[in-house]
Structure 1
Amino acid sequence: MSDPRLTPANSRVAHASLAGTVDAPRFTEGEWRQVETGILPLLASPEGPRERELLQGETFCVLEEVDGFAFGFCGRDGYVGYVFAEFLFPLNPPTHRVKAIRSFWQEDPDIKSTMRVFPLSFGARLRVARIEGDWARLTIQTPPDAVWFREAWIPSAHIAPVDTVEADPVNVAEMFVGTPYLWGGNSAFGIDCSGLVQAALTACGQDCPADSDMQMALGAEAQGAYRRGDLLFWQGHVAVVV
């Protein structure tokens, strides 16, 4: 039986790749869009529980929109679910990623600014228009009628080119020490065990599924003494050897 977490189909629509595999009234290739908010919950159903989270700049393939929710799957790992459609915009390929464990964008490039700020997690993806000294000006997308940010700036020390990767997953994981536990969390504002493993590995350019039972298929079973970077699994949990 196929895993519903990775099977982009519901009672009304399915992805075109599933034609001949599942029964559905309609098949579609979907439309890729981009997240334009700091953290976007991925829900099991409209108004349902959180399964995972998407970060600013990540992609989501929309198969249908109903009553303000978009059904589809994440570009990061193929995880299926529902998100609030208002935070999905046309693709605007990012140029940089957030390398600080936590950051923000704000309305003006001034460390003493009292204007609004917008929190960003490690791993968020951004499109930089230009860098001016200690600050980078961002290109952001907002609804036409929204009163959001006139401009968006982020400290330039907090970002790196989007195609650069970290060297050591353990070092990345240790950056999250002190982060609150959040079931289904994928950000530096709240994360769970499998979210931590995924964040650490993907930051180093390694593909990684979302949940701990899926992650058990990574690599080969370790032999002998534990080594730095090994993954340890037990019922419903995963940990990284440091």
Structure 2
Amino acid sequence: MTFDRRITPVRADLADEKLRGQVEAERFSAGTLRRVLTAATPLHRHPSPDAPVDTQAIWGEAVTVYDEHEGWAWVQLHDDGYVGYLRSEALGAPGAEPTHRVSALRTFVYPGPNLKLPHSGWLTLNSKVAVTGIEGDYAQLATGGFAYAPHLSALGTWESDYVAIAERFLHTPYLWGGKTSLGLDCSGLAQTALNAVGIAAPRDSDMQEERLGTPVPVTPGLDGLRRGDLVFWKGHVGLMADATRLIHATGYTMQVLVEPLAVAEERIRLTSYGPISSIKRLPSLGG
């Protein structure tokens, strides 16, 4: 059988116990549950700081750790199933089950419920936290520190417009593998925006193209599109801001920008990924 290495926890020497009988490996393990306890940490393809970065894990994400060696943990992220290597120091015990997610683009953590205190950390959109109490305008976190309570939403409480979420990231720098307010790539922008409205989106654009939405005809004039439609190339994705404009994270300008789809289509077709491969519509905005 052929497995996608990005989302299949299997190596020659080790594989997930759930894959026993399906793959060959020297040994199998059910792994141990851990949680990401840093604002963001890169997930590498190999256990080396110089290895390619496939994505990031953000605060509060649950991971299954299958192996640890010389400061590196081989893990699978629970939210999107991605497999790779994180620095062990970025992980901690599962701790209290998260109760809230960060609903602001970014928020700070303070040692006390006071905005004048020096901040001790930061959290990006969709980070998960466990709130143990409220003091004034601040939520006390089980991991220590306080976050501004209006920047948090109870788990299960979602935004309604994923394009509006994407628009919050305008001018955010492009970062390959990134999915935070400090930097993100095209599929990271789409995944982050969709997750904020409760849509569990895969990480990479090819996975998103395969699994999300229903097809919309790609006409020569790029007609009939709606706000929220996902536009795919073989290696790129953007979201329609309206019937004619695309919002996407692009290496062309190294930032998130909005531009006419016709302009983006011509440039991308001629210089990088070829023609549009598909357009997908999601029911939450597309009807």
TM-score (norm 2): 0.78
In structure 1, the partner of 2:209 is: 216
- 8 A contact 2:71–2:89 mirrored in 1: yes
Where structure 1 has 5 or more consecutive residues not aligned to the other structure, the ranges are 141-150
Give the superposition deviation at 1:128.
1.0
Report sequence identity in percent. Answer: 41
Give, in whole Å, the separation in 2 of the partners of 1:46 and 1:123. Answer: 26
Of 90, 93, 100, 2:93 maps to: 90
In structure 2, what is the Cα distance between the partners aligned to 1:46 and 1:162?
33
Higher relative contact order, chain-length normalized (CA < 8 Å, sep 6+): 1
Residue 169 of structure 1, aligned match among 143, 162, 172: 162
Please identify the structure whose Cα radius of gyration is greater. Answer: 2
Give the match for residue 68 of structure 2. 65
Q: Which runs of 4+ in 1 moved over 3 A?
A: none
> What's the offset of the Cα at 1:117?
2.6
SS of the residue 1:108 aligns to: coil
| Partner in structure 2 of residue 43 of structure 1 | 44
**Letter of the 1:161 counterpart:** A
Mapping of residues 19-38 of structure 1, within 5 Å: 19-38=20-39
In the alignment, the residues of structure 1 paired with residue 127 and residue 58 of structure 2 have an alpha-carbon distance, to the nearest angstrom, of 5
Question: Deviation at 1:126?
Answer: 0.8
Residue 54, structure 1, aligned to residue 53, structure 2: no
- Cα deviation, residue 235, structure 1: 2.9
Which secondary structure does the structure 2 equivalent of 1:194 belong to?
Answer: helix
Stretches of structure 2 lacking an aligned partner (at least 5 in a row): 218-222, 242-287
The alignment yields a C-alpha RMSD, in angstroms, of 1.2
2:113–2:136 Cα contact (<8 Å) kept = no
CA contact (8 A) 2:103 2:196 kept: no
Structure 2 Cα separation of the partners of residues 10 and 82 of structure 1: 12
The CA deviation at 1:105 is: 0.2
Structure 1 partner of 2:196: 203
Q: Counterpart of 1:53 in 2: which secondary structure?
A: strand
Alignment of 1:234 with 2:233, yes or no, is: yes
The whole-number CA distance in structure 2 between the counterparts of 1:76 and 1:88 is 16
Answer yes or no: is the 8 Å Cα contact 2:64–2:76 preserved in 1: yes
User: Does the alignment pair 1:109 with 2:103?
Assistant: no
Amino acid corresponding to residue 224 of structure 2 in structure 1: A
Secondary structure of the equivalent of 1:198? helix
Matched, 1:6 2:21: no
TM-score norm. by structure 1 comes to 0.92
State the aligned residue count: 231
Q: Which amino acid aligns with 1:174?
A: E
Q: Aligned-pair distance for 1:80? A: 0.6
SS at match of 1:195: helix
Contact conserved, 2:113 with 2:135, CA < 8 A, in 1? no
Deviation of the 1:90 alpha carbon: 2.0
